[in-house]
Amino acid sequence: MNYSHSILPQTDSLFKLLNRLESVRQTGPNKWVARCPAHPDRSPSLSIRLNGDRILVYCFAGCPANRIVEAVGMTVSDLFLDSPKKAKKKERATLKTLAAQILEKALVKELENELLEEIKLIERLLWRYNGWRVIMDDGKHADDLPG
């Protein structure tokens, strides 16, 4: 499938990628869908997007980007429009950011688990000493609970 330069930005890698895919359809400015070349695909499940200095590919069936580009005879580095050296530096920074996000999620999950355990303990104590009834009846203060 050939594309006119009027609908494509002047990027050789993007032009090459889109020409090697099947059932390509433009869905918006710098956005396309196509059949994924990495798995048997009857309807377009591959999203392609030009995002600044890189081409983003996403298969809704779960195919990784490296398999997608390899299936059309390209490499992941072809998705970066800068020089390969700059692309590798940006990729490292992205990996550092991803590692920080993963660590942050792990810490949040750990805190959530600790809070959940504390809540369960409080609930057990309240039920054991009829604390819920005391709270609901607005009778005693927490200091008045046995224990």
Q: In the predicted model, what is the mean pLDDT of residues 89-108?
A: 76
Is residue 5 included in any domain, yes or no?
A: no
- Looking at the chain, the number of H-run helices and the number of E-run strands are 4, 4
Domain total of the chain: 2
Is residue 53 included in any domain, yes or no?
A: yes
CB atoms within 10 A of CB 48: 23
Comparing 135 with 25, which gets the higher pLDDT?
A: 25
Is residue 86 included in any domain, yes or no?
A: no
44, 71 Cβ separation under 8 angstroms: no
Burial class (CB in 10 A: 0-12, 13-18, 19+), 32: buried
Strand partners, 34: 46
Q: Check residue 141 and give its pLDDT.
A: 55
Is residue 72 included in any domain, yes or no?
A: yes
Q: Check residue 53 and give its pLDDT.
A: 82
**77 and 129 both lie in a single domain:** no
Q: In the predicted model, what is the mean pLDDT of residues 37-42?
A: 91
**25 and 75 both lie in a single domain:** yes
Q: In the predicted model, what is the mean pLDDT of residues 89-94?
A: 62
Is residue 89 included in any domain, yes or no?
A: no
Is residue 45 included in any domain, yes or no?
A: yes
Is residue 137 included in any domain, yes or no?
A: yes
Instruction: Report angle CA 62, 33, 55 to the nearest 5 degrees.
Output: 80
> Does the pLDDT at position 88 exceed 70?
no
Distance CA 144, CA 130 (A): 12
**23 and 77 both lie in a single domain:** yes
Q: In the predicted model, what is the mean pLDDT of residues 25-43?
A: 92
**51 and 112 both lie in a single domain:** no
Structural domain of residue 28, as residue ranges? 12-81
Contacts of 26 (CB under 8 A, 6+ apart): 7, 32
Distance CA 46, CA 51 (A): 16
Is residue 2 included in any domain, yes or no?
A: no
